[in-house]
């Protein structure tokens, strides 16, 4: 859980009981009576699903603020107004120990007691500033470009935006060492560089985006972030997926994959030699997404990833991410008019309060 979620949880009375209840559900789902092999997996987790729905409602989560008819150079998912969610209800303040800005107003986040540059956080901040700029806040342009330029400074020779700190990923055998990479960082960077080029015409952003795309396509087996779904279904072994958390095996985090798909779409809209390749991988990724969405459906809520299928354990449920799944699907539907994506958007939206 992020520090933002923790803060929101602690702001509600009775938060402790929420997590006790979830723990009891997970224990029951782990050790309770299983369904027959002929039934769908989502039937196994009734208690956890009900508890996730209660948490979502109790904590006031919503997907509606980010529902958008998506455009490649517009106010990205309305993050101009939602990048910095309230630390506690009714406020817009954050503790300096959690989020601070350097002299160039580039955000740093706190991790294990240190302020670090996180390429995902910086990209999201850049996109929020771009959104404010296109909404008429002229001063936000400088903040956007400072953040975009910082992302360029973080790229290595291969185009990877590496995280300069260790990270504990629950599904990996050991912590990631500093220098790890993520498809989500690469995809968000594509969205940032596309917008930076659009408003400046500076070819540096084309070069940076092409490098980011090139690294995005490097397989996990070669130190990259393009993964395989063979551990979910051998028939999906050739499907393309981009891993927010590269590992072997990977748990295939859904939100990071969909953010990356949007990045590919944005880069396919920029004039450059790699635009056609970005569009091809956008289409290929959509084919994968259509195939795997049913695996995340728990019959009343969504799983954060597919760890429950790979390790035969209770699903990893990130309660706030259910709404993220809905608004990302909405964005992709607005681009593609795809009926299957629309089906899951509507279905998943129906699981939680409107």
* DSSP type of residue 47: H
Residue-by-residue DSSP string for 143-209: HHHHHHHHHHHHB-TTS-B-BSS-B--TTSSSPBPTTB--HHHHHHHHHHHHHHHHHH--HHHHHHH
The pairing of strands 99-101 and 107-111 is: antiparallel
How far are the Cα atoms of 96, 150, 205 from residue 193, in angstroms, in the given order? 28, 11, 5
Question: Sorting pLDDT into bands at 50, 70 and 90, what band is 149?
Answer: very high
Q: Provide the pLDDT for residue 30.
A: 60
Q: Provide the pLDDT for residue 279.
A: 98
Question: Sorting pLDDT into bands at 50, 70 and 90, what band is 111?
Answer: confident
The full set of domain ranges for the chain reads 3-349
The pLDDT tens digits of the residues spanning 228-271 come to 999 999 999 999 999 999 998 899 999 999 999 999 999 999 99
Backbone φ and ψ for 320, nearest 5 degrees, come out as -65, -25
The pLDDT tens digits of the residues spanning 32-68 come to 544 433 333 445 788 999 999 999 999 999 999 999 9
> CB-based contacts of 143: which residues, under 8 Å, 6+ apart?
105, 125, 126, 129
Q: Provide the pLDDT for residue 70.
A: 98
Q: Provide the pLDDT for residue 92.
A: 40
Number of H helices, E strands in the chain: 12, 5
Residue 301's CB is within 10 A of a number of other CB atoms, namely 25
Rg, Å, the chain Cα set: 20
Q: Provide the pLDDT for residue 173.
A: 87
pLDDT for residue 352 is more than 50? yes
Distance CA 184, CA 148 (A): 15
Of 1.10.3470, 3.40.50, 1.50.10, 3.30.70, which CATH number belongs to 3-349? Answer: 1.50.10
């Amino acid at each position: 859980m992020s520090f933002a979620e923790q803060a929101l949880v602690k702001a509600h009375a009775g938060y402790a009981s929420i997590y006790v209840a979830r723990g009891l559900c997970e224990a029951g789902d782990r050790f309770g009576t299983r369904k027959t092999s002929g039934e769908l997996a989502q039937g196994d987790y009734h208690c956890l699903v009900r508890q996730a729905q209660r948490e979502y409602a109790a904590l006031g989560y919503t997907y509606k603020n980010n529902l958008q008819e998506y455009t490649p150079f517009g106010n990205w998912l309305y993050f101009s107004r939602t990048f910095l969610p309230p630390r506690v209800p009714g406020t817009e303040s954050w503790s300096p120990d959690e989020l601070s800005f350097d002299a160039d107003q580039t955000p740093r986040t706190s991790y294990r007691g240190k302020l670090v540059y996180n390429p995902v956080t910086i990209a999201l901040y850049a996109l929020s500033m771009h959104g404010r700029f296109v909404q008429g806040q002229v001063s936000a342009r400088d903040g956007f470009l400072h953040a975009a330029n910082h992302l360029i400074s973080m790229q290595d020779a291969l185009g990877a935006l590496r995280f300069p700190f260790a990270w504990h990923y629950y599904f990996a055998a050991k912590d990631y060492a500093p220098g790890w990479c993520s498809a989500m960082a690469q995809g968000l960077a594509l969205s940032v560089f596309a917008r930076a080029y659009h408003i400046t015409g500076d070819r540096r952003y084309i070069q940076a985006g092409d490098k980011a795309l090139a690294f995005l396509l490097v397989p996990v087996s070669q130190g990259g972030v393009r993964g395989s779904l063979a551990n979910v279904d051998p028939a999906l072994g050739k499907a393309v997926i981009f891993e927010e958390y590269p590992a072997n095996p990977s748990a295939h985090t859904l939100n990071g994959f969909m953010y990356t798909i949007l990045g590919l779409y944005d880069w396919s809209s920029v004039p450059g030699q790699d635009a056609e390749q970005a569009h091809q991988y956008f289409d290929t990724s959509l084919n994968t997404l259509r195939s795997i969405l049913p695996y995340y459906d728990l019959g009343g809520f969504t799983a954060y990833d597919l760890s429950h299928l790979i390790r035969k354990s209770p699903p990893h449920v990130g309660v706030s991410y259910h709404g993220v799944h809905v608004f990302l699907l909405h964005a992709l539907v607005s681009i593609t008019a795809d009926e299957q994506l629309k089906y899951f958007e509507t279905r998943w939206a129906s699981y939680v309060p409107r």
